[in-house]
Amino acid sequence: MERIEHHASFDGWQDVYQHESTTLGCTMKVGVYLPPQAQHGKVPVLYWLSGLTCTEQNFITKAAVQRYAAEHGIAVVAPDSSARGEGVADDPAYDLGQGAGFYVNATQEPWAANHRMYDYVVQELPALIEAHFPVTAERSISGHSMGGHGALVIALRNPGRYRSVSAFSPIVAPTQVPWGHKAFEAYLGSDREVWKQYDTVELIRTVQERLPLLVDQGLGDEFLESQLQPDLLRKACDETGHPLTLNLRPGYDHSYYFIASFIGEHMAHHASALKR
């Protein structure tokens, strides 16, 4: 882990590291915020997954998360949203290829060699973080849009691994919307049964662990009806009895202005679970 940025923030440190990923076959960048409590002992970790086109920079520079991480004594780890670099498969469109990994393990060419963000987030990244930083094995996970989809899917598919999960504007049913159709067809092939393993609404129907879901959605979001459709999540949770807090926020859009407005509530949600 090579540190390439180092910034004092709320008596802690907002750093950026890079490392060679064996899972993704490329150099990855990761934002790591260590709160002041980490100077005296190990702290729990929130993993944040960003959305389409984002890098590790968007969340750490726009969400104002450091204030709340310092208040609650939580490290925040925010990786880039996909494999990147020369030799990594890409596409001219913003919603496929580099910056659009969708937190799946691709099985189709030319994507399979590098686009394995699911394994990176679940396995390689936490192993590195827990080996190199003063953190515990207590984890929570959150994200935005494509990253909200990733956070929900990863938490639901790995019972006991995360203390809590939340999402802003998540793609809750990618098997039913255009973004998901395009990405899953490319990364996973044409078998739609395979797609369901990365679909929150489908997973809710079969999971054994009833980890409560906290979801915030802006009602002024331009992608609300076409890509996000939170009512599908509400319906699935109602049918299965899965605990869900769905906050519909009038006037808020898909931007980091929205995330920054409510990140404090999400951090309190995760702090409560991590400190139990």
Catalytic residue among 254, 266, 269, 270: 254
Predicted structure pTM score: 0.97
pLDDT tens digits, one per residue of 72-91: 999 999 999 999 999 999 99
Residues 117, 269: Cα–Cα separation, whole Å:
25
Q: Is 190 a catalytic residue?
A: no
Helix (H) or strand (E) holding 167: strand 165-168
The predicted structure's pLDDT at residue 261: 98
Residues 252, 219: Cα–Cα separation, whole Å:
6
For residues 19-39, give the mean pLDDT.
98
CA-based radius of gyration for the chain: 17
Query: The domain 1-273 is classified under which CATH number: 1.10.3720.10, 3.40.50.1820, 3.30.420.40, 3.40.50.720?
Result: 3.40.50.1820
Residue with tokens 């002992």, as numbered in its chain: 41
For residues 6-14, give the mean pLDDT.
98
Residue 174 structure tokens: 């990618």
Looking at every residue in the chain, the average pLDDT score rounds to: 97
Catalytic residue among 145, 164, 166, 169: 145
Q: Is 254 a catalytic residue?
A: yes
The predicted structure's pLDDT at residue 276: 81
Report DSSP letters for 210-272, one per residue: -PPEEEEEETT-TTIIIII-HHHHHHHHHHHT--EEEEEETT--SSHHHHHHHHHHHHHHHHH
Residues 249, 94: Cα–Cα separation, whole Å:
27
Q: How do the domains of the chain map onto residue ranges?
A: 1-273
CB atoms within 10 A of CB 6: 10
pLDDT tens digits, one per residue of 99-143: 999 999 999 999 999 999 999 999 999 999 999 999 999 999 999
pLDDT tens digits, one per residue of 151-184: 999 999 999 999 999 999 999 999 999 999 999 9
Q: Is 221 a catalytic residue?
A: yes
Judge contact between 142 and 165, C-beta under 8 A.
yes
Judge contact between 16 and 40, C-beta under 8 A.
no
Catalytic residue among 15, 144, 221, 270: 221
Residue 248 structure tokens: 């519909």
